[in-house]
Amino acid sequence: MNKNTVDNHELERTLPADLGAPQPVINPGKMRSDRIPLPTGVTKHEADQAEVQEAREQGITAPGQPPIIRTFAADNCRTYWPSSFQVCGAIRAKYESMAVTWAGQTPVSFLGLPKSNELTNPDGVGKRTEFDNGFIYWHPDTGAWSVTTHNSIVWARNGWELGRLGYPTSDEIGTGDGVGRKQYFQRGRIYGSLSGVVSIEGKILEKWVETGEERGPLGYPATDEEGTPDGVGRYNRFALGMIYWHPSYGAHTILDLILEAWSISGYERGRFGYPVSDAYNDEFGGPVQDFEHQVLVLENELDAAGTSMFGGKQLNNLLIQSLQRRFVAEADIANLTWSRNPVWSPNDSPNIGTFASISRTESIPPWAACGFTTSEDKVIKSWTGNYGVHRGHKIDLKCGPRDGQTSGFRHIKRRHMKEWQTLAAIEGIGWMDLADMSMTKAFTDADYWKNSQERNSTCYSAQVYLVDKVRGTIAMTIDPSSIVSDSNDLVVTSFPGGKCHTH
């Protein structure tokens, strides 16, 4: 995200804290430029003119000259040596407020030096000043705010202040995760992350906020809002999914393998059409999503997609497409392992050899057996909850009713085993191993939990990582959802996605 045109720290390195009083006339050998190295791009002529201009603003005259009136107080403009451009009014106040240190009366910040005088914007109301590494924009309704170089590129391609985003209403700030940055505008936002620097606005922004923003199941936005080929809909891509908007159906998320199935069908131009709901679980607990022309049932789409050999593993074709979308090659498959606790390095990649990965096989399942005649009340695994209403409670996974329609192991096996199997096949492990890893982390080290009073239950989620052991990189993340009854502390269900979005 660092696309500054001038080194942020050059002024700090080159300009002393005390510049000395400015010379009121060009005095060869005694100008600041004769003793202080000039920053990149500033000529001696420009620096000397700026020094004389600064003296005039301060009312300093040469010996023998009549006194002059200080000018900067009258028009509220000031010169910041060694730039000869003046910064005025509210923009000047903002520029000075951003100083991390000072060189004489010149504020030192990431913006650098001014590159223009104050300019009037095309709307005839707002003002702006350009700096080495960005802008400060002012409007009477929004105030004065800085815009970084990288954000200005995104803002420019969306029409600047006359475009869809409008004027800035904040500076660029951190998102809180130590990775992303964001800036607010009148009608949208700009986000910077490992997914790029892009904008998000309108109904799609509202929907994304509803899902939990960058901490939700979609992650950071990866594109600006774009129009669909029919000229009707709009969409944004995100790190982990998409949001589509249609004037008749509103804005809806599309995630995980449902997104892969929908994309194979031709997106909104295919047999399903536009989404008219978010994904949800049907009456039997299976993942489905309503579209314009028909309901997409993930289990049916997994069956229809079939499997292929990929990297020596028999994988579902929807999963293969998802892996390829993440730039995972066939040669990488043998190196992949599921992990719940990778150790992060400074570049956000896990350190090789430190993964808490699965070592069991299907022949040694992590849960006790549930045969056909086994009592539905048999407990096959227990955890101690660390969060929410289940903190300190023993959470039990029971066999559950034999029809598998409501809760427990039999429900998970009947309605979600195929999803777990699809993902577990990448490493060649049992589906229960991956489900157990995910549930254990969710109940004991949750990233997120969400209580539903209507359903009398709480959903827990924690990321699980598909790690390349050779490269030390993360090939995929999943955000499983594990739901526990609030009344009896029993596991209702668990499935490998959603981050509790549908709860």
Backbone region of residue 146 per phi and psi (left: phi > 0; alpha: psi in -120 to 50; beta: other values): beta
Query: Would you tell me how many other CB atoms lie within 10 Å of the CB of residue 32?
Result: 23
3-state DSSP assignment of residue 409: helix
- Encoded tokens for 45: 């002529």
pLDDT score for 347: 35
Can you tell me the distance from the alpha carbon of 231 to that of 364, in angstroms, rounded to the nearest whole number? 54
Residue burial 134-157, b: 16+ Cβ < 10 Å; e: rest: bbbbbbeebebbbbbbbbbebbee
Can you tell me the distance from the alpha carbon of 392 to that of 14, in angstroms, rounded to the nearest whole number? 58
Question: 361-368: long-range contacts at Cβ-Cβ below 8 A with a sequence spacing of 24 or more?
Answer: 361/429, 361/430, 361/433, 362/429, 362/430, 362/432, 362/433, 365/430, 365/432, 365/433, 366/432, 366/433, 366/436, 367/397, 367/409, 367/432, 367/436
Can you tell me the distance from the alpha carbon of 272 to that of 251, in angstroms, rounded to the nearest whole number? 16
Residue with tokens 């700096």: 131
3-state DSSP assignment of residue 54: helix
Phi, psi of 383 (to 5 degrees): -135, 160
Which residues, listed in sequence order, are joined to residue 184 by a DSSP beta bridge? 189
Give the residue extent of every domain in the chain. 10-193, 207-303, 326-500
Counting Cβ atoms within 10 Å, is residue 482 exposed (0-12), middle (13-18) or buried (19+)? buried
List the chain pLDDT tens, one digit each, 503 residues. Answer: 555 566 667 777 888 888 899 999 999 999 999 999 998 889 999 999 999 999 999 888 877 666 655 544 446 899 999 999 999 999 999 999 999 999 888 899 999 999 999 999 999 999 999 999 999 999 999 999 999 999 999 999 999 999 999 999 999 999 988 899 999 999 999 999 999 999 999 999 999 999 999 988 899 999 999 999 999 999 999 998 999 999 999 999 999 899 999 999 999 999 999 999 999 887 766 789 999 999 999 999 999 999 999 999 999 999 999 999 888 999 999 999 999 876 433 333 333 334 444 444 444 678 999 988 999 999 999 999 999 999 999 999 999 999 878 899 999 999 999 999 999 999 999 999 999 999 999 999 999 899 999 999 999 999 999 998 888 888 888 999 999 999 999 999 999 988 887 78
3-state DSSP assignment of residue 270: coil
pLDDT score for 351: 37
Under 8 Å CB-to-CB from 22, ≥6 apart: which residues? 32, 51, 52, 54, 55, 58, 60, 81
* Amino acid (1-letter code) at residue 378: K
3-state DSSP assignment of residue 300: helix
Can you tell me the distance from the alpha carbon of 137 to that of 171, in angstroms, rounded to the nearest whole number? 10
Among 332, 455, 334, which Cα is nearest to 389's? 455
pLDDT score for 3: 53
* pTM, 2 dp: 0.81
